[in-house]
Amino acid sequence: MNFKERVLTAMNHEEADRVPVMGLIMDPATVNKMLGKKPVDFVGLLQKPVLGNQIKNLLSSNRFWNNMYYGNFSAAMQAAASLGFDANWAVYALMKLTRDPQASVGWSWYDPYGRVWELAADTEGNINVNYSRALCDTEEKWEKWVEEKAPLFETMLRNTAAFHRKLVKDHGGRIYPMCYAAPGPFENSWQPIGFVNFTRLIYQKPDFVKKVIAFQTDLCLRNLEAVMKSGVEVVLGGDDLGQKTGPLLRPELVEKLYGESYRRMADLVHQRGRKFVFHSCGNIYALLDKFVEWGFDGIITMEPTAGMDLGRVRAQVGHKLVLIGNLDVSYLVVKGTRQEIEDAVRKAIGDAARGGGYILSTSHSHPLVDPVRLQWMVEAAHKYGRYPIGG
């Protein structure tokens, strides 16, 4: 069985030759370490007055941005394949480098949705990026933003389709690209506005919130269409619906505001003959049955630091959802011992892999993930993941 057959067999809740292993590799720090590449001190270069502006001008070229961005994911695919992963995730993003006095390094990425991404570097110069704040904190600013950015959304969708097509063409012969249409309607509706503001609007201006969600749902459906042009059989979508102790919104409210959006996303993917896997960080037990109801085929993440236990998830939703993930990235694949990794892999496989329907992976990407420990993880999966499990 090859990597693709292994992944697709698991996606059908059937036992492959062994449990597939998926990488969530995307952080430059991890990729550089894996490929033995010296990081470019991007943040350091930005601090030089003339050079900073030159880099900004260069990156504002769509072609240059796409080449740079593709290069990172192409390297991630190459690194994941070389470690023996059967699949790796891939996501396209379009960002504009912007001078930002609020940012600690003086620059941030602004994305087309109206979100600011904090730019930082680790001690070796590897870049990392995290959502930091909203640009459209009022109704008026949001309306103006989406009107002005309409052409940018079109560019983004064209780029998304081209990115995933090329990735599948270049790497699909060695590893299965899990192409991700991110982000989803929940994150896209609150993050450009800010969570506190968005919460106020839910209670005070529900019609505006409905309008935002409808806009973002349409955009998300188009993003899914763009990703599916790559031809992959499995498509990822997602929204971080959980926080450390439970969902961010009451499940009934998630259903009321976003249920229709998620049903439409799953329906669209199914109409195209593909399977839809949903990513959500956080503690999401209270939403698992909704995921089944909305028509999702699988979920990816199940963050152990938010209390997600693979055995409990399997018991709750049985084989109604394919499960991907759950290995800890806060300690296990950062500093864990080989024995701890073997034990965790063995437990995950024992908890969720019988009868198929489980793809082993870490619960997320993480800049501190150690490639040696990822190698141990893959080796342990090969050792303990052969079907029949425990046989």
- Residues making contact with another protein (CB under 8 A): 102-104, 118, 120, 122, 128, 130, 132-133, 195-196, 199-200, 202-204, 243-250, 253, 281-282, 305-306, 329-331, 366-368
In whole angstroms, how close is the CB of 217 to another protein at the nearest point? 19
Instruction: Report residue 165 as tokens.
Output: 């097509």
Q: Which is nearer to another protein, 269 or 281 (CB)?
A: 281
- Are the C-beta atoms of 164 and 177 separated by less than 8 Å? yes
Quote the CA–CA distance of 62 and 20 in Å, as a whole number: 36
The rounded distance, in Å, linking the Cα atoms of 276 and 224 is 10
Nearest to another protein of 238, 385 (CB atom): 238
Q: Which is nearer to another protein, 144 or 250 (CB)?
A: 250
CB-nearer residue toward another protein: 111 or 118: 118
**Min CB(102)–another protein separation in Å:** 7
- Give pairs for 110-119: CB < 8 Å, separation 24+: 110/135, 112/149, 112/152, 112/153, 112/156, 113/183, 113/188, 113/191, 113/192, 114/142, 114/145, 114/146, 114/149, 114/191, 114/192, 114/193, 115/191, 115/192, 119/43, 119/46
Pick 74 or 330: Cβ nearer another protein = 330
The closest alpha carbon to 71, from 96, 43, 37, 99, belongs to 37
Q: Which is nearer to another protein, 74 or 305 (CB)?
A: 305
Tokens of 132: 């930091």
Widest CA span of the chain, in angstroms? Answer: 64
- Kindly tell me which of 118 and 351 has the beta carbon lying closer to another protein: 118
Tokens encoding 260: 């229709």
Closest CA to 224 of 258, 264, 254, 192: 264
State the nearest-atom distance from the C-beta of 311 to another protein, in Å: 20
- Smallest gap from Cβ 339 to another protein, in A, equals 17
Q: Beta-carbon neighbour count of residue 386 at 10 Å? A: 15
CB of 41 to another protein, least distance (A): 16
C-alpha 207: how far from its chain's center? 29
Give the residues across from 110 on adjacent strands: 96, 116
Least distance from C-beta 108 to another protein, angstroms? 9
Least distance CB 2 / another protein (angstroms): 34
Residue placing its CB nearer to another protein in the complex, 317 or 329:
329
**Least separation, in Å, of the C-beta of 151 and another protein?**
29
Least Å distance, CB 216 to another protein, is 17
What are the phi and psi torsion angles at 110 (to 5°)? -110, 135
Whose Cβ is closer to another protein: residue 86's or residue 118's? 118
Alpha helices in the chain, H assignment, sequence order: 3-11, 28-35, 42-46, 49-59, 62-83, 139-148, 150-171, 185-190, 195-204, 206-228, 251-271, 288-294, 310-317, 332-335, 338-352, 371-384
